[in-house]
Structures are given as structure tokens and as C-alpha cells.
Amino acid sequence: DADVTQTPRNRITKTGKRIMLECSQTKGHDRMYWYRQDPGLGLRLIYYSFDVKDINKGEISDGYSVSRQAQAKFSLSLESAIPNQTALYFCATSSLGAQETQYFGPGTRLLVL
């Protein structure tokens, strides 16, 4: 079984809808991250969390919110989706003391119409 899983893998939604992307990990890592990938821009950090009570904004947090329900679960929400949030979204995990090595989930492809 995969260490980092994301659901759904693909999603089509309409402008203005609320949508949640979920991430679960079995690696026992304390740190979790959400990125978006756009062609030609690489990966950009949306939010990150060092533990259940520690959540931080990344480079592009506007229009997004997150919830760390447990050490193993980190959800990303788009409160009111807009077309320029169409992207590939990745969750990643890392462990304190592991020299910042991050492990990625398979991604969620989101299309906002």
C-alpha cells in the first residue's frame, strides 16, 4: 500500500463550489505539506503543518484553507473554487530530523469550470 494517499485522484467542479482534497499517510511523519503544480511553474507551497496544532501559510495560501485532523491526515479546502485553481495538487510528508526529505502522494488533478 502507498505510504501517502490522496483522494480524490481526479475532480471536476464548478466555479463557486466548495471542495475538499484529502491526504493520509502511514509513514508516521509529523510534517505535512500541500503544493500545487502548474505547467512551467514547478511546485508551489500552499500550506504546511508541523503537527496537529501547528499550521502555517505557504507561498500561495489565498483562496485555500487546511485542517490537520490527526497526525496522519491533512485536508485542503477550496472554499469557493475559481477556474485559476485548476491544477495538480500534491500532498507531501517529512519527518523532523530527516533533513527535509519530503515524500509525495500521487496527486489530485482538479478542474474548475
Partner 1 sequence: AQSVTQPDIHITVSEGASLELRCNYSYGATPYLFWYVQSPGQGLQLLLKYFSGDTLVQGIKGFEAEFKRSQSSFNLRKPSVHWSDAAEYFCAVGARNQGGKLIFGQGTELSVKP
Interacting residues with partner 1 (CB under 8 A): 4, 31, 33, 35, 40-45, 48, 50, 56, 58, 90, 92, 94, 96, 99-107
Instruction: Give the H or E element holding residue 70.
Output: strand 64-70
Whether the CB-CB separation of 106 and 23 falls below 8 Å is answered with no
State the nearest-atom distance from the C-beta of 80 to partner 1, in Å. Answer: 27
C-alpha of 27 from chain center: 16
Q: Between 16 and 106, whose beta carbon lies closer to partner 1?
A: 106
Q: Between 50 and 82, whose beta carbon lies closer to partner 1?
A: 50
Query: From CA 83, how far away is CA 111, in angstroms rounded?
Result: 7
State the nearest-atom distance from the C-beta of 14 to partner 1, in Å. Answer: 24
Q: Between 70 and 97, whose beta carbon lies closer to partner 1?
A: 97
State the nearest-atom distance from the C-beta of 104 to partner 1, in Å. Answer: 4
Q: Between 28 and 106, whose beta carbon lies closer to partner 1?
A: 106
Residue 111 is which amino acid?
A: L
State the nearest-atom distance from the C-beta of 94 to partner 1, in Å. Answer: 6
Query: From CA 108, how far away is CA 94, in angstroms rounded?
Result: 19
Whether the CB-CB separation of 33 and 91 falls below 8 Å is answered with yes
